[in-house]
Amino acid sequence: MSTFSEIYCIIKVSELDYHLAMESRKNMFHRLDESKQNQVKKSHENQTKFIENLKTFSKKLGMKVHFLNEDQMDQIHPGCNDLIISCGGDGTFLSCAQKYQDSILLGMNSDYKPKAGVGSYGALTSINRTNLKRRLEEIKDQKFFIDQWKRLQTKVNNQLIERYAVNEIYFGQRISYETCDINIQHSRMSQDFNCSGVLTCTGMGSHAWHYNAGGSPFSNELDAFGFKVLFPNLKRTLKFASGIVSGRNELIIYPLRDNYVLSYDSKSDVITTQLGDEVRISLAPDSAVRVISFHD
């Protein structure tokens, strides 16, 4: 396996493991109804079986993989020629994309169930229980390509923030039920909003939170990003409340109060802004995430 210098696999902490880690969580877990408890246990069993198969197949194929749990992510410092496998769902993939921004990524869904509400669909993952062995063989035989997924970046007061988003960037209140006042400049128009924040997204992210908030999905191949103001006050006359921004342009946002936050891919490690700051959001020109993809 000379394609990659090292291969690391980051394993999601299952919901069951999370609940059983502390006595207080155990008690809360038992407060769930039986059907929910069984669902959590089944998900854990699916992940355990998937990881067993992953270890077995990769060993047979001569792939040396270093397995780590999510809470061990700080223990490694992979380089640009290393492969990072996320083993969980979309959340695990996004955590890896933020943590290891220079490495090559591969998403695996350890609890794949295409039926809504049961298991995980894993839109950002390309390997699941139905194709695990075949995909590993394709990786060994180098029958894959490395795709470039666009990411979003931010500048605050013309200073680039060294964080990037594969799906979306949220700007607004830290507490979701509190409204915020912001000014947005888009396509030579300026609009004040009293709203629940604004969501900007890549083409990949347009199928996630942006879509669920009522936005229209668009192709990740498009050299552009989208935005949608969340629950704007409709008593005000609005020139716009959503749109598509060319990859050559920026969306400019001014917070009209203190302590609004920028959250990247829904992570809790946020950037806080103050009244008078200028926030510019755009596609990151030189920071695409490299993702292993397959031809079918």
Same structural domain, 172 and 116: no
**Are 178 and 281 found together in one domain?**
yes
The residue among 97, 120, 143 that closes a domain is 143
Instruction: Give pLDDT tens digits for 93-106.
Output: 999 999 999 999 99
Containing domain of residue 22, as a range?
A: 7-143
Sheet holding 279-283, edge to edge: 159-160, 152-156, 279-283, 251-255, 180-186, 189-195
18 φ, ψ (degrees, to nearest 5) = -60, -45
- Mean pLDDT calculated for residue range 235-255: 95
For residue 12, tell me if it sits in a domain.
yes
- The confidence band for 120, taking pLDDT boundaries of 50, 70 and 90, is low
In a domain, 293, yes or no: no
| Paired sense of beta strands 83-88 and 189-195, if any | unpaired
Same domain, 241 and 269: yes
Domain end marker among 88, 119, 143: 143
pTM, to two decimals? 0.91
pLDDT at 180 over 90: yes
The share of the chain scoring above pLDDT 70, in percent, equals 96
Residue 41 Rama label (left phi>0; alpha psi -120 to 50; beta):
alpha
Which CATH number fits the domain that encloses residue 203? 2.60.200.30
In this structure, the answer to whether residues 201 and 87 fall within a common structural domain is: no
pLDDT above 90 for 215: yes
Is residue 269 domain-resident? Answer: yes
